[in-house]
Structure 1
C-alpha cells in the first residue's frame, strides 16, 4: 500500500510528536530520502528545544502580587504558554526583530575582551537574529556523538569547496589548535532565507564550540563584537562585510573572547 503524500502539516505534527506511530514511521522514511528536508526538520526540533529551555522557567515564576487575581498561577501559565507559542510562530515565519537575551558587547572589533557592556534592544539589527540562530544550531548539533558533522575534518578541502559553493562565497574554517580546539568538521544548515555553514571544534575533554557563518546579511555595515548569553550557551558574534559570524560554546565570556580574537584574525 502506498503511503499518503507528506504535507507541511504532517511535518509540523511530526516535530511536535503528534503523529500515530505508523504515520511517524512513514515520515521518517520520507525524510531519510531527503537530507535537506531532514535538516530543516532537525532545525525546527532544535528551535522547539531552545524555546523550551528559554521559556519553561517562566512557568514556575511567581505572578506579581499586584495582579491580585484568583487562580493567578494558572492564568500566568496560560499567558506564558501563549507567549512562547507566539515566539515560535514568529521564528518559523522568518519574522525579524528578535531581541537577544543577555548583554551586547561592541566597540573595538579586534579586542573583544575590552569591549564595553551595553543592553541590547530591539534596534540591534540583523546581528541579533544571527546570534540566536547560531545558539539554536549549537544546542541541536553539539551534543551529537555519532553524527555531529556532515563532513569530517579529514576531508577539509572537500568541506571548504562544498560550503563555499553552497553559500556562493569562499568560506574556510579557522584553525584553533593553539587554543586547545581541533576542527572535527562542518555541515550545511538552513538559515532564515538560505544556506549557512557551521564548523565544529572539540577540545581534549570533549567540550565543543561551533562557528556559524552566514551570508544572509548581504553587504551589511560592519559591527564590533557583541556577546549574548542564551541559556547555558555563550555567543560572540559580529558582521564583517558580506559575512556574519557567531561563535557559540558553553564557555565563559573570557574564554570565548580569546577564541573570537583568534577567529577574527584568521578570517580577515
Structure 2
C-alpha cells in the first residue's frame, strides 16, 4: 500500500489532522487519479460490509462454536493506547461475535444480520444497503454529493429517469436543512435516488427513493420507523415508489422531516 493509499484510508476513517485533511481535499480537487483511488476505497468498504452481512447468515462451524463455548467469558481484546480504530466492518464483526458468545448460540446459526450497535436488521431489504451507503457518504465534506444543488433541474431529470420515479426536491429549510445535491445508488439490485441535506452543525439527512411494484396511491402514507446499523429510518410507500428518510441514531424530529418530505416530494 502506498503512502497516498494509507492517507486516503485514514481520511475516510476520519483519522487525519485538520491540516492533512485540507491537503488531501486539495489533492482530490486537482488529481483525478487520487479521486479514483478514493472512490475505489469507498467501493471496497461498501462491498466488504455487504459480504460481512452475508457471512452473518451462514451456519457457524461446530468446531468454532465449541471453541467459543470453552473460552472464558469476558475476555475482550483491547487496542493498545493511541492505536486508531480499524475499519467499521471490524466493529460489526466484534458485535456479531459478542452476540454469538452471550446470546445462547441456539442451533449454531446467526439467522439475522446484526448492526455495529447490535440492532437486528433481518429482512431490512434495500434499507440495509442505504445504511451502508450513508455510513460512507455522510462523513464527506467536499464530495458529499455527485451532482450539486446548483444543478437541481438536471438532477431531478437524471435521477427520475434512472430510478423510474417522478419527484420534486422537498424544501426542508423549516428544519434547518440545506439541500446539497444528490447521487445515484444501487440497493437490492435496483437504482436509488439519494437527495442529501445538511444542518448547520454538519448533521446529514438523506431522502432516498426507489421504484416499487407494491407502492399504491394513498391520501396518508403509512410511516414505518426503525433503526438499522446505527441509523434511524422513517420509510413509506406511495404512487409506485418506496421512500425513506435516514439520519443518525437518536436524531429528534426525523418523523416530522419525513412527513414534510412526503407531502412535497
The answer to whether the superposition gives a TM-score over 0.5 is: yes
Question: Number of matched residues?
Answer: 190
How large is the RMSD of aligned CA atoms in angstroms? 3.9
Q: Find the counterpart in structure 2 of residue 56 from structure 1.
A: 94
Gaps of 5+ in 2: 1-31, 53-86
Structure 1 distance, partners of 2:194, 2:133, is 8
Q: Does the CA contact (< 8 Å) of 1:209 and 1:249 recur in 2?
A: yes
For normalisation by structure 1, the TM-score amounts to 0.58
Structure 2 distance, partners of 1:61, 1:237, is 27
Q: Does the CA contact (< 8 Å) of 1:201 and 1:209 recur in 2?
A: yes
Taking structure 1 as reference, are residues 52 and 198 closer, same or farther at Cα in structure 2, changes over 3 Å only?
A: farther
| Selected match of 1:210 from 206, 213, 219 | 206
Q: Find the counterpart in structure 1 of residue 69 from structure 2.
A: none
| Selected match of 2:158 from 142, 158, 162 | 162
Q: Find the counterpart in structure 2 of residue 249 from structure 1.
A: 247
Look up the SS of the partner of 1:183 in the other structure: strand
| Selected match of 1:44 from 43, 47, 70 | 47
Structure 1 distance, partners of 2:185, 2:96, is 30
Q: Does the CA contact (< 8 Å) of 2:186 and 2:192 recur in 1?
A: yes
Look up the SS of the partner of 1:63 in the other structure: helix
Question: 1:240 Cα deviation (Å)?
Answer: 1.3
| Selected match of 1:259 from 257, 260, 263 | 257
State the structure with bigger RCO (CA 8 A, min sep 6), 1 or 2: 1
| Selected match of 1:186 from 168, 178, 182 | 182
For normalisation by structure 2, the TM-score amounts to 0.59
| Selected match of 2:237 from 235, 239, 247 | 239
Structure 2 distance, partners of 1:55, 1:259, is 33
